[in-house]
Structure 1
Amino acid sequence: MTKKRILIVSDLLGVSCDINKYKFFDGHEVDILSSPLLAKIETSELTKDEVHKKFTNGGIETATNQILTQKRKKIDLAIGFSIGGLLLWQAISKGLIVTDLVCISSTRLRYEETKPKCNILLFNGEKDPYAPTDNWIKKLDVSTIKFPNQEHEFYKEPKNLELILKKLTTLQSYN
């Protein structure tokens, strides 16, 4: 297997995954970016709702531009957790070159109207009320896997993340 360039962008509190726990990442060049750091948001004194408001009031644009500034080489696989998926989606739409984009619980994608030029796979919890609708998924022609009986933060469960990573081994950029 050829060494791949993998970019991971965290959720709005900086949570992604501990790559040392998963063999999926072994032998690859992996870069993990923190969404709050990209957005220049100090989260330690803020509630989750306050952090969310800062993202929607300019933080998304700031973080997207930071990704574009920091990442100039082609990315084989980009993985975004929650808001991280939206940041990657928008960065790709603005010129970031990515082969495969994986968005995990990226509910704010439901507001996007155009699809970036790359392969896209979404993972959502079936019980997440803010996940993109079936109509949105059909309209944008995006592949989606729904985790049964799961809510928004299903990705924080190691067993669910293992299932996601197992599925990712079938992607073009991984092989």
Structure 2
Amino acid sequence: MRLLIVTDIHGRPSADHCLSRRLPGVQQSLARTVSVSELLGVDYRGERLHRELVENEGFIRASERLVGLAAFADVALGYSAGGTVLWHSVLHGLTVDRLICISSTRLREVNSSMMPKPTLAVFGENDPNRPPDCWARGEAVQSYTVPAAAHDFYAFEGQALKLCLPRIAGFLDLE
């Protein structure tokens, strides 16, 4: 399984903490990880990078660059802003079989029915910026809310990760 990973605005998670490491049948040797800052060609993270994404059409610029960098992935996995970049990349021509967006709260601003690829969007229940439950209305889009989880649950070991892994494995037919 070829896996394309796009990290969040802080460069998280590290390769050692990526959810893909906990999924059966996923070979890390076939994974490629790209940071949002790398896609924008900048050397900053955090709030400054977030502003670049939101205020300067950074999501679109990053997604167009990613389309040019990545030929194909069986699965694209994005964290927070990285998931939003992947979403736009698929709409701009990135070829993937499946898309997983973890805590990609900016997706609340997009029409989920436009997504042509099977997509799983995972959000923390305690994330105040997650889309409403009715957001995932597209035929290809599934949404899962992790109980009692914050926005950045993916960056820490804990119960939230344990709760979402079976859902992701099922989405990928790895169970």
Question: TM-score w.r.t. structure 2 length?
Answer: 0.84
- In the aligned structure 1, how far is the partner of 2:29 from the partner of 2:164? 17
Structure 1 residue ranges without an equivalent (≥5) = none
Q: What does residue 102 of structure 2 align with?
A: 104
Q: Note the C-alpha offset of 1:173.
A: 6.4
Q: How does 1:16-35 map to 2 (within 5 A)?
A: 16-19=13-16, 22-24=21-23, 25-26=26-27, 29-35=30-36
- Counterpart AA for 1:16: P
Q: How does 1:17-166 map to 2 (within 5 A)?
A: 17-19=14-16, 22-24=21-23, 25-26=26-27, 29-43=30-44, 48-56=46-54, 57-73=56-72, 75-113=73-111, 114-137=113-136, 139-141=137-139, 142-159=141-158, 160-166=160-166
Q: Is the Cα–Cα contact under 8 Å of residues 123 and 144 in structure 2 kept in the other structure?
A: yes
Q: Note the C-alpha offset of 1:50.
A: 2.3
- In the aligned structure 1, how far is the partner of 2:53 from the partner of 2:38? 11
- Counterpart AA for 1:129: P
Q: Is the Cα–Cα contact under 8 Å of residues 100 and 173 in structure 1 kept in the other structure?
A: no
Q: How big is the alpha-carbon RMSD for the aligned residues of Structure 1 and Structure 2?
A: 2.2
Structure 2 residue ranges without an equivalent (≥5) = none
Q: Is the Cα–Cα contact under 8 Å of residues 64 and 91 in structure 1 kept in the other structure?
A: yes
SS of residue paired to 2:152: helix
Q: Note the C-alpha offset of 1:124.
A: 0.5
Q: What does residue 10 of structure 1 align with?
A: 7
Q: Percent identity?
A: 29
Q: Measured at CA, do residues 108 and 38 of structure 1 come closer, stay the same or move farther in structure 2, by a change above 3 Å?
A: same
- In the aligned structure 2, how far is the partner of 1:83 from the partner of 1:107? 8
- Counterpart AA for 2:15: D
Q: Note the C-alpha offset of 1:127.
A: 1.0
